């Protein structure tokens, strides 16, 4: 769990940076909507001198009895990352959004990434991080590309602010209105919205070393990634890009309990997002982002087989 002093330090830095972008009047609103999470950066190229370290790209270290995951067509899935939970647990959110086992390995594999929704994948939790062996797939993997370049992973605490789709622009406008002496009717008037987008891009993506994150906000054009994920996980139905229709289906599933539906949506967590990254070789559509979601209840129960994977690309 992120230490209180780390939280205080990051919060102070965020508030100062917001002021530098001319967003001091909106700092309380924006900090209230921020999410604590885990930032994942590349370190050095991994030359496989160790086993069981956190790694992105390349080949995984697996238990001898673990079979390489296959697609429904029997093709080896493509390995994306392995995360040693000893590295992650000091930085898990302290706001109750996400909690991981204290020990073990978490593996991420993917099948073909087209279409960009309900992508075939596997998230595997292995409780024992010892006695692992580096493994190579038996033949070409699902993506049909050269192996991604292996890099060791640096893990950092993260305070993430809402992305483009998730920022409350109306609330920003309400703050801007008194500053202009009237009602702000257009998004971005008085500069707050545009300033926020500049801040978010700089704050949430501070370095080219960053390749992913956990428990933050997904990229996207609309704030409905959780709707898409929950509908698929719970009802095994594809999302029709209609939030109200989706919520009606979920509410019917939960016995007419609308509050339960809203809570389940709030508890649909971004387990991992993987950015396009040149050094590793990740390219998701047009510089997009691969996203893995999990229900909070499944996360707490260690049910990593109950996940959803999609790809956002602008």
- Answer yes or no: are the C-beta atoms of 113 and 26 closer than 8 Å: no
- Answer yes or no: are the C-beta atoms of 111 and 77 closer than 8 Å: yes
> What gap in Å lies between CA 148 and CA 47, rounded to an integer?
13
Give the pLDDT score at 189: 44
CA distances from 300 to 99, 100, 216, 295 (A): 7, 7, 17, 9
Computed over every residue of the chain, the mean pLDDT equals 93
DSSP class of residue 190? G
Top pLDDT among 280 and 147 is at: 280
Residue whose structure tokens are 């622009």: 169
DSSP class of residue 148? P
> What gap in Å lies between CA 259 and CA 272, rounded to an integer?
26
- Give the pLDDT confidence of 150-168 residue by residue, as tens digits: 999 999 999 999 999 999 9
- Give the pLDDT confidence of 55-81 residue by residue, as tens digits: 999 999 999 999 999 999 999 999 999
Q: Torsions phi, psi of 110, nearest 5?
A: -140, 150
DSSP string, 94-139: SSSS----SSSEEEEEE----SSSS--EEEEEES--SSEEE---SS
- Give the pLDDT confidence of 234-277 residue by residue, as tens digits: 999 999 999 999 999 999 999 999 999 999 999 999 999 999 99
Angle at which helix 243-253 crosses helix 225-235, to 10 degrees, equals 30
Give residue 120's pLDDT band: very low, low, confident or very high (50, 70, 90): very high
- Give the pLDDT confidence of 169-206 residue by residue, as tens digits: 888 888 876 654 545 444 444 578 999 999 999 999 99
Give the pLDDT score at 53: 97
Helix (H) or strand (E) holding 291: strand 289-295
Query: Does pTM surpass 0.75?
Result: yes
Helix (H) or strand (E) holding 230: helix 225-235
> What gap in Å lies between CA 125 and CA 302, rounded to an integer?
8
Please count the residues of the chain. Answer: 314
Give the pLDDT score at 290: 98
DSSP string, 59-100: --EEETTPPPPB-TTSPBPEEEEEEEHHHHGGGS-SSSS---
Q: Is 221 helix (H, G, I), strand (E, B) or coil?
A: coil
């Amino acid at each position: 769990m992120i230490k209180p002093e780390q939280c205080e330090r990051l919060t102070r830095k965020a508030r100062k940076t917001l002021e530098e972008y001319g967003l001091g009047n909106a700092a309380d609103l924006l900090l209230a909507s921020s999410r604590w999470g885990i930032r994942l950066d590349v370190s050095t190229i991994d030359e496989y001198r160790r086993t069981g370290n956190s790694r992105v790209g390349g080949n995984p270290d697996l238990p001898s009895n673990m079979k390489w995951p296959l697609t429904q067509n029997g093709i080896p899935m493509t390995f994306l990352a392995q995360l040693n939970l000893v590295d992650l647990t000091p930085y898990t959110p302290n706001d109750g959004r996400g909690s991981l086992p204290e020990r073990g390995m978490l593996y991420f594999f993917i099948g073909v990434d087209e279409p960009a929704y309900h992508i075939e994948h596997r998230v595997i939790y292995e409780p024992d991080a010892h006695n692992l062996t580096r493994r190579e797939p038996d033949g070409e993997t699902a993506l049909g590309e050269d192996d991604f370049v292996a890099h060791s992973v640096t893990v950092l605490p993260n305070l993430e602010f809402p992305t483009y789709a998730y920022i409350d622009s109306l609330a920003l406008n309400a703050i801007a209105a008194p500053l202009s002496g009237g009602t702000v009717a257009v998004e971005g008037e008085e500069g707050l919205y545009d300033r926020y987008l500049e801040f978010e891009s700089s704050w949430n993506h501070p370095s080219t070393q960053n390749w992913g994150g956990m428990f933050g906000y997904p990229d996207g054009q609309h704030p409905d990634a959780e709707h898409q994920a929950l509908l698929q996980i719970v009802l095994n139905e594809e999302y029709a890009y209609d939030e109200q229709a989706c919520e009606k289906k979920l509410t019917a599933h939960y016995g007419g309990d609308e509050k339960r539906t809203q809570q389940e949506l709030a508890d649909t967590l971004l387990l991992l997002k993987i950015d396009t990254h040149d050094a590793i070789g990740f390219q998701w559509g047009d510089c997009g982002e691969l996203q893995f979601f999990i229900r909070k209840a499944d996360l707490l129960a260690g049910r990593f087989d109950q996940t959803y994977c999609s790809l956002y690309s602008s």
